[in-house]
Structure 1
């Protein structure tokens, strides 16, 4: 009887260990495993134009939310854009303000993922990651009535590297231009081509095909050449959460689908994020129409 009990416990432990390695080959970062550097090659990507599936991506005005009202009033966000008439330059002004609030630190994770808290900590001298630049920019622009989403970017070898394979930025919907615009709050960068702001996929195409475009960088944080070299490899996988849903540890364990990833027609679905966790909570599409919904279709 005792042997059966020990055997059962042993089998359970083996199963638990195997499942843990399946979900996280690096056991959450405890094990050093994977490539040290990302592949910096920029690939030519191909997408479908037509709608393939409806993922019900919805972007609405949430500026009346209590935490956003506090953010807007505490940091006087309306004063930053009061004298600016067009949405493009309003976004540019907010992004520049956010970027100037602290210096980048890729390892410092805040205790709370809240824009007011992060800005207050920044005033005390704390520094934060690209994740926090994106979060604060998103919340500030949401507080002003913009429709904005967090945009995750991953390199082609995201499943093979142990660090440095991901970046977080944003895309904002400009109603007066009826299009999505990519912004990178960490660097205070917006890309334009022929005077028209580019979304992330358009920026990737311009880089991969050596097309002419410019970057607008009011805070002079980086040159165009350096930014193109830096951002290019990250523009391979593009992902957003579906309607801003939070992805918990439980979601990752059971594989709840709360994310949409856009990938090229010839790309493989990524298996892991830097071998830290299995990417099993995303839908995938090759369709630009799926990933860039028409906002006015439900307004």
Structure 2
């Protein structure tokens, strides 16, 4: 609201001003400020430097994303604050009185997080098989010698063991999306990291895969891509890891960069189950981790990863010393494509043809039990 607001409105507002906020039903609440700088919190996440008080804007509207039916919101100035719950698809407003004179009408609008439930064909493709390491590997033995991971005696389940390796991997270096390692194997990456190297998501995925395989699991890197990966003008992909838990007989999604394993009612989820849980059970799923550092929040992680959970691809041959690489129809990787979606054949952002993938719409093929 501008500083030339009508005199009778000013009188009404100033009469209501005090150091205490009003839960007014017939009045608009007022808070005070001596600086235009603010911070606000959506559920458990604080945002600083994203919003400033602007009395020159008649009805200044801050749009927040709501992941559930109700969202807890707090707005903080340098000397005052206001907090409330806001229903999705609704708005609440208040005034900020700047330096006892200028008035800023501030409107908070909660819009729903946009989700699309992705579906796949359940019929398995009889002609497609993904191969995994069996028996000892010279490379994995070298990895165990150079960078051993000793599981704690308290880790009795496969889930606990994987969470431990996930946390170990995440702690090796700090994420840097602009600095690729010189080589794409765990030993080389960990050697560089020990010398201060910092690397992107795919480096975490590789190290996590190799360390889990060294411990006897069946693990693979999974390349995630957005629905608009062909034309997206910013990076359209992320890289994570999936591992097969023998005691649960299922594949599980883990993200080494963020040190999280999504679970629903305590059961770990694979990538497509995770996408489904975000779309239909947001309040029920958790992000599990063994980290003692502050963990990424559900909303921040979902806001980052959700778009990437559309196209998934992984290599068809996860063996380490195989001389004859396993391929299907001359393709080295398998891409899982949602039912009704087009096959992803080119990515403009990287000017890259996706000519290395065999396509399938079968979730059962992509998540077949490793043999």
Unaligned segments of structure 2, at least 5 residues: 1-112, 321-328
CA apart distance, 1:85 = 1.7
1:258 to 327, 332, 337: 332
Partners of 1:93 and 1:85 lie apart in 2 by 11
| Counterpart in the other structure of 2:174 | 103
Distance 2:338 2:249 in 1: 24
Matches within 5 A, 1:203-242: 203-211=274-282, 212-219=284-291, 220-242=294-316
CA distance in 2, matches of 1:196, 1:95: 16
Assess if the C-alpha contact under 8 Å between 2:131 and 2:319 holds in 1.
Answer: no
1:134·1:170 contact (CA, 8 Å) conserved in 2?
yes
Equivalent residue, structure 2, for 1:157: 228
Structure with the largest fraction of strand? 2
Structure richer in helix, relative to its length = 1
Sort the Cα spacing of 1:294 and 1:76 in 2 relative to 1 into closer, same or farther, 3 A. closer
- State how far apart, in whole Å, the 1-side matches of 2:350 and 2:134 are: 36
Q: Does 1:289 align with 2:367?
A: no
Deviations 1:24-43 (A, max 9, x none): xxxxxxxxxxxxxxxx9542
| TM norm structure 1 | 0.78
Equivalences for residues 37-76 of structure 1 within 5 A? 42-62=115-135, 64-76=136-148
- Judged with a 3 Å threshold, the aligned counterparts in structure 2 of structure 1 residues 164 and 42 are, in CA distance, closer, same or farther, namely farther
Distance 1:81 1:260 in 2: 35
Q: Deviations over 1:104-156 (max 9, x none)?
A: 11121111122122112111111001010000001111111110011110001
Residue 83 (structure 1) shift? 4.1
Q: Distance in 2 between matches of 1:206 and 1:196?
A: 12
Is residue 2:343 matched to residue 1:269? Answer: yes
Other structure's SS at 2:253 match: strand
What is residue 158 of structure 2 aligned with on the other side? 87
Deviations, residues 3-41 of structure 1 (Å, cap 9, x unaligned): xxxxxxxxxxxxxxxxxxxxxxxxxxxxxxxxxxxxx95
Q: Is the 8 A contact 1:160 1:275 kept in 2?
A: no
Identify which of structures 1 and 2 has the higher relative contact order when contacts are C-alpha pairs closer than 8 Å and 6+ apart.
1
Q: Does 1:193 align with 2:264?
A: yes
CA distance in 1, matches of 2:188, 2:218: 22
Question: Which of the two has higher C-alpha Rg?
Answer: 2
Taking a change above 3 Å as real, the CA distance of residues 272 and 76 of structure 1, as seen in their structure-2 partners, is: same
TM-score, normalised by the number of residues in structure 2: 0.63
Name whichever of 256-265 and 193-202 sits farther off. Answer: 256-265
- Give the 3-state SS of the residue equivalent to 2:128 in structure 1: coil
Q: Structure 1, residues 160-191: CA drift from partner, whole Å, max 9, x if none?
A: 12432100001100011100000001101101
Q: Distance in 2 between matches of 1:52 and 1:144?
A: 30
Verify the 8 A CA contact 1:193 1:214 in the aligned structure 2. yes
* 1:29 alignment counterpart: none
Q: Can you give the 5+ residue segments of structure 1 that lack an aligned partner in the other structure?
A: 1-39, 247-254
